[in-house]
Structure 1
Amino acid sequence: MSFSELGLRAELLNAIEAQGYTTPTPIQLKAIPAVLAGNDLLASAQTGTGKTAGFTLPMLQRLANGPRPAPRSVRALVLTPTRELAAQVGDSVRDYGKQLPLKSHVIFGGVGQQPQVDAIRKGLDILVATPGRLLDLQQQGHVSLANVEILVLDEADRMLDMGFIHDIRKLLALLPATRQNLLFSATFSNEIQALANRLLDNPTMIEVARRNTTAETVDQAVYYVDREKKRDLLAHLIKEQQWYQVLVFTRTKHGANRLAEHLEKQGISAMAIHGNKSQSARTRALGAFKAGKLQALVATDIAARGLDIDELPQVVNFELPNVAEDYVHRIGRTGRAGSDGQAISLVCVDEHGLLNGIERLIKRDLVKHIAPGFEPDPNAKPEPIENGRNKRGGGRGRGSQNAGNRGQRQGKGAGDGQQRPPRRRSQKRQQA
């Protein structure tokens, strides 16, 4: 099926063609007609499946013939967990909507707010925002959400992970009771399903891939190594296998900095991105990496969420994540849109429990290697693991016991693990 058969208008079809796309992805085939029909949507798909266009295209079409936005008001609101993902969505809105008379803007923290205030002042058809900055501007009276027709929660699972649930609740209370809601998540965790029950009205459900599956196009392997030899092993693999573009994940900001410095000393061009880096530094590092001027980009999970890098060949888990589902998110950066990719995990004795939890989650055993000269000490004892977000240990299997249980990780304060009796449409949205 072609995009023209999905009922999209000529201006959007021209923009799609200009981007070089000819055939809709599976999630686009399912999501575009549902959104055009005005349905609420609950969609799960792996990264790299084209979900951004899956909601951007029909959203643009639905807004195209509507009224002009009132001053300081917004007709469609897209919430994302990170600055990078907000920028990526904003680019899609601009690229696909360039032939339509719609105004859009992206706002996030870490940069001055005045240009954002100026952009909102005359009203916007589409606002892409991170929750914190949007709340700040709303509380200062710079933006009204009373006229929102379409709400999109993108990467909703990550927003819950990052503790945005309270901000999201505050924002939902500012929205009109009647609107279209689109919720996108990489996984359908219990917390996401609970949020959907409160937010969505008779939604169309889309699950492109089986829950917590990893792409078949990604070659996954493990290298066993002692913790103190990991940095040298990574440098060795990059040089020996001639990796020219590798995204490396660490647990902590400090660990990302140290690893990037170590790689530089080994003659490998590398930079780190994480929450403590300024937005300009993060943008500069990502730009250099995409342009091929940087061999290794070292990132924490939060900073790497939403990175859109075409045909990224290698992802390395320098440290395994404490939550098994994050492994799926990480390696989803490679093997995208049918391209081949490679995901390597460097695993020390501390992480054997985490590895077991990951293999149970993805329902497959990963190929194990030991690199000559980097053989692990068979008598090494595991030490507790610190997580960059919550300092919870996981080295002796605790991480695997809690793998996928985000409710425990974010604590009872999140409040979205409780099932609630069904309400009428207006009540549900007013109280969400």
Structure 2
Amino acid sequence: MSFEKLKVIEPILKALKNEGYTQPTPIQEQSIPVILQRKDLFGCAQTGTGKTAAFAIPVLQLLHEQQQPVKQKPAIKALVLTPTRELAIQIQESFEAYGKFTGLNQVVIFGGVSQVAQVNALRRGVDILVATPGRLLDLINQRIVNLSDIRLLVLDEADRMLDMGFVHDVQKIIARVPKQRQTLFFSATMAPAIRKLADTLLINPVKVEVTPVSTTAETVRQTVCYVEKRNKPSLLLHLLTNKDIHMALVFTRTKHGADKVAKGLNNAGVAAEAIHGNKSQQARQRALNLFRSKQIKVLVATDIAARGIDIDELSHVINYELPNVPETYVHRIGRTGRAGARGIALSFCDSEERVYLRDIQKLITSTIPVDNEHPYQDAIGNNKIGQSFKTPVTPKTSNHFSRGNKPRRRYHKSVQ
């Protein structure tokens, strides 16, 4: 199957060729014809499947075909709602790339930054608006944004929007959108709450499900390391300094934890940055750019902030803390092993996280192999209890884990 056979128009085909796209992914192959037929769609696909292009390409095509010959300031005809700033930026960049030769323009708006530049862009006219719910609702209330001309509504990462508590904002926004519209609903999970929300928005939708949420990419090699909580910093540093890891995305459950891990790694001589919701947009983009350009080795992220991080060359994902929602594990490790490349997912599991590991293995219907070779095994791994403060890894590790003349134990407590 080719994009030509999907009846994608020439201006978009030209842009896709410029981007190096030749063959559609399964989610694109199934979604594009449905959307071009102006049908509502319920798409279920995990991260890394080409979901953005699956809706961006047909949305651009439909709007291009409906363009009026009379030159006038464009009104917003398509709205894409997405939960995070990073994902919003990524989606806007995709629309810009695929729509390069269509004459359509797009604007992205999100919170955490001044609204001035965004408002100025909106006032110049926009065909496609990509937005996070909070900032959009704020600008609607200020009478800066008018959604009365919307023809296409896209909800991307709907499951994450519910998790983040955006459901009420989303409902308020949808109340401002014309009922006569085409709605595209994308989620990585099919939880009851997601189905309920979809039922209120979609009319006779076509369901497209490419890979269930329980499916982890075959290109990702998974390993679990049993380790006591207090020894996680030493194990992380051991892996980053003794293994062939060029780039690693490290996940924590909390913003505070992400900051502590990043700070500890930098103190130990490993270049790292943290990215989470409390960081300014400028700081988050700076961290992403440093990571993409390989000026830092490690990006430490929370789950919400990591949505929208798309780095083809990412070789390793490390779950410093296991997620308490098993589906999140699938999303996390999906950040590596993308586009057919090989990836490695390493997960730390302490005694309190055993139940999380059991839930994850139940979801993915497989047992994750255990690394019995690392030097910080705990009793779960049928080995000695890790002694991170007594067992030297390398001279570099031992030297960097302390601060001045302070005992190394103090550093480890601060990273937990």
User: TM-score w.r.t. structure 1 length?
Assistant: 0.86
Distance in 2 of aligned mates of 1:123 and 1:170: 23
Aligned to 2:414: none
Equivalent residues of 1:289, 1:297 under 8 A apart: yes
Aligned to 1:344: 346
Count the aligned residue pairs. 380
Q: 1:187: Cα distance to partner?
A: 1.4
Aligned to 1:202: 204
- The residue correspondences of 1:375-386 to structure 2 (distance < 5 A) are 375-377=377-379
Give 3-state SS (helix, strand or coil) of 1:74's partner.
Answer: coil
- 2:371 paired with 1:369: yes
Summarize the Cα distance change of 1:116–1:285 in structure 2 as closer, same or farther, 3 Å threshold: same
Deviations along 1:193-225, one digit per CA (max 9) or x if unpaired, are 111111101111111013421111111110000
Aligned to 2:405: none
Counterpart AA for 2:108: V
Counterpart AA for 1:276: N
Q: 1:112: Cα distance to partner?
A: 1.0
Aligned to 1:281: 283
Give 3-state SS (helix, strand or coil) of 1:364's partner.
Answer: coil
Aligned to 2:23: 23
Aligned to 1:118: 120
Q: 1:70: Cα distance to partner?
A: 7.5
Distance in 2 of aligned mates of 1:370 and 1:275: 35
Aligned to 1:398: none
Distance in 1 of aligned mates of 2:326 and 2:96: 35
Q: 1:377: Cα distance to partner?
A: 4.7
Distance in 2 of aligned mates of 1:208 and 1:377: 40
RMSD of aligned C-alpha atoms? 1.5
- The residue correspondences of 1:28-67 to structure 2 (distance < 5 A) are 28-67=28-67
Give 3-state SS (helix, strand or coil) of 1:91's partner.
Answer: helix
Q: Percent identity?
A: 52
Distance in 1 of aligned mates of 2:109 and 2:151: 19
Gaps of 5+ in 1: 381-432
Equivalent residues of 1:111, 1:279 under 8 A apart: yes
- 2:301 paired with 1:296: no
Distance in 1 of aligned mates of 2:200 and 2:374: 54
Give 3-state SS (helix, strand or coil) of 1:146's partner.
Answer: coil
Distance in 1 of aligned mates of 2:327 and 2:65: 40
Deviations along 1:161-195, one digit per CA (max 9) or x if unpaired, are 00000000100100101100001111111111111
Aligned to 2:86: 84
Aligned to 1:12: 12
Give 3-state SS (helix, strand or coil) of 2:327's partner.
Answer: helix
Counterpart AA for 2:119: V
- 2:308 paired with 1:306: yes
Distance in 2 of aligned mates of 1:349 and 1:41: 43
Q: 1:369: Cα distance to partner?
A: 1.7
Distance in 1 of aligned mates of 2:75 and 2:194: 28
Q: 1:73: Cα distance to partner?
A: 3.7
Equivalent residues of 2:79, 2:128 under 8 A apart: yes
Distance in 2 of aligned mates of 1:103 and 1:244: 37
Deviations along 1:49-79, one digit per CA (max 9) or x if unpaired, are 1110010000000001324598684100000
Q: 1:370: Cα distance to partner?
A: 3.2
Distance in 2 of aligned mates of 1:23 and 1:372: 41
Distance in 1 of aligned mates of 2:135 and 2:198: 24
Distance in 2 of aligned mates of 1:121 and 1:80: 22
Counterpart AA for 1:282: R
Counterpart AA for 1:83: R
Q: 1:101: Cα distance to partner?
A: 1.1
- 2:147 paired with 1:159: no
Deviations along 1:224-250, one digit per CA (max 9) or x if unpaired, are 001010011011011111211000000
Q: 1:7: Cα distance to partner?
A: 0.4
Distance in 1 of aligned mates of 2:351 and 2:327: 20
Aligned to 1:408: none
Equivalent residues of 2:82, 2:88 under 8 A apart: yes
Distance in 1 of aligned mates of 2:157 and 2:213: 15
Give 3-state SS (helix, strand or coil) of 1:2's partner.
Answer: coil
Give 3-state SS (helix, strand or coil) of 1:182's partner.
Answer: strand
Give 3-state SS (helix, strand or coil) of 2:154's partner.
Answer: strand
Give 3-state SS (helix, strand or coil) of 2:5's partner.
Answer: helix
Counterpart AA for 1:23: Q
Q: 1:311: Cα distance to partner?
A: 2.9
- The residue correspondences of 1:23-422 to structure 2 (distance < 5 A) are 23-67=23-67, 73-377=75-379
Equivalent residues of 1:249, 1:300 under 8 A apart: yes
Give 3-state SS (helix, strand or coil) of 1:367's partner.
Answer: coil
Equivalent residues of 2:42, 2:206 under 8 A apart: yes
Aligned to 2:2: 2
Give 3-state SS (helix, strand or coil) of 1:369's partner.
Answer: coil
Counterpart AA for 1:208: V
Give 3-state SS (helix, strand or coil) of 1:124's partner.
Answer: coil
Please say which of residues 39-48 and 60-69 is displaced more in the overlay: 60-69
Larger Rg belongs to: 2
Distance in 2 of aligned mates of 1:212 and 1:89: 25
Counterpart AA for 2:20: G
Deviations along 1:134-178, one digit per CA (max 9) or x if unpaired, are 000000000101110000001110000000000001001001011
Q: 1:373: Cα distance to partner?
A: 2.7
Gaps of 5+ in 2: 386-416
Counterpart AA for 2:307: R
Please say which of residues 339-348 and 69-78 is displaced more in the overlay: 69-78
Counterpart AA for 2:37: A
Distance in 2 of aligned mates of 1:319 and 1:133: 31
Give 3-state SS (helix, strand or coil) of 2:17's partner.
Answer: helix
